[in-house]
Amino acid sequence: MPETKKENFEQIKKKLKIVDNKEVKIVGVTKNRTYEEVEGILEKGLTDLGENRVQELMSKAEMFTRSVNWHFIGHLQRNKVKYVVRIPQLAMIHSVDSLRLAKKVSQEARRVGRRIPVLLQVNIAREEQKYGFSKQELLKSLDELDELENIEVKGLMAMAPFVCDPEETRIYFADLRKLSENVKEREWNRIEMKELSMGMSQDYLVAIEEGATIIRLGRVLFSEEGGIC
């Protein structure tokens, strides 16, 4: 990365009050953003971008020819997996929310000769409107997940409930971290628990304190207010 970009990026981190000694990857969430807005954030030195719609991801991945690591972060229907695994710049799917979907990703990845890094999405607060494994489902599915040859499970992802006070999200982030530690206690062939993708504009500071390694930021990066109340 050229020096000026690096400085810019450090400034963003400072502005976001992200403490320097913590290794946290920022995924810039580009949903509903214009070409110019995304270009602007790339110029500041961001290397990782995320989209939650397949069609958007496909067209943006084509639009930005410079090297971007693309993350898919939204609910993925099984009939669309084939498009996602074919995107050359795809770095990770954060939102594998069922064993069936994991199998499908592995199957489609195999067709194109890839191994795709994925995270398992956990519905950590058991909200009806949110996707994700329950903790029990996740623990039960691990043996089968460990056998899938064309995905690399790198960790867990979750979204906290939308609440006014980000402090209230702490228990959920802590819970996700504990779950990941539980999984780590066993030996796996393929599964790794290195990444915790948690924290969005309104709660990323709490998420980092609770061990996030990846935060997914939309509004605060594009200089909007991060709060929701």
Ligand X SMILES: *Cc1c(COP(=O)(O)O)cnc(C)c1O
Q: Which residues bind ligand X (CB under 6 A)?
A: 29, 31, 52, 73-74, 159, 200-201, 216-219
Nearer to ligand X, 91 or 150 (CB): 91
Smallest gap from residue 5 Cβ to ligand X (A): 22
Q: Which residues pair with 90 in a beta bridge?
A: 70
**Residue 34, C-beta contacts closer than 8 angstroms, at least 6 positions apart:** none
Work out the number of other CB atoms within 10 angstroms of the CB of residue 202: 21
Nearer to ligand X, 142 or 200 (CB): 200
Let me know: does 9 contact 45? Beta carbons within 8 Å: yes
Let me know: does 24 contact 212? Beta carbons within 8 Å: yes
Smallest gap from residue 103 Cβ to ligand X (A): 22
Classify the C-alpha dihedral 200-203-204-209 as positive or negative.
negative
Alpha-carbon gap, residue 176 to 149, rounded angstroms: 25
Smallest gap from residue 187 Cβ to ligand X (A): 31
Smallest gap from residue 32 Cβ to ligand X (A): 9
Nearest position to ligand X, beta carbon = 218
Smallest gap from residue 108 Cβ to ligand X (A): 21
Nearer to ligand X, 75 or 184 (CB): 75
Nearer to ligand X, 103 or 204 (CB): 204
Classify the C-alpha dihedral 45-52-176-200 as positive or negative.
positive
Nearer to ligand X, 45 or 218 (CB): 218
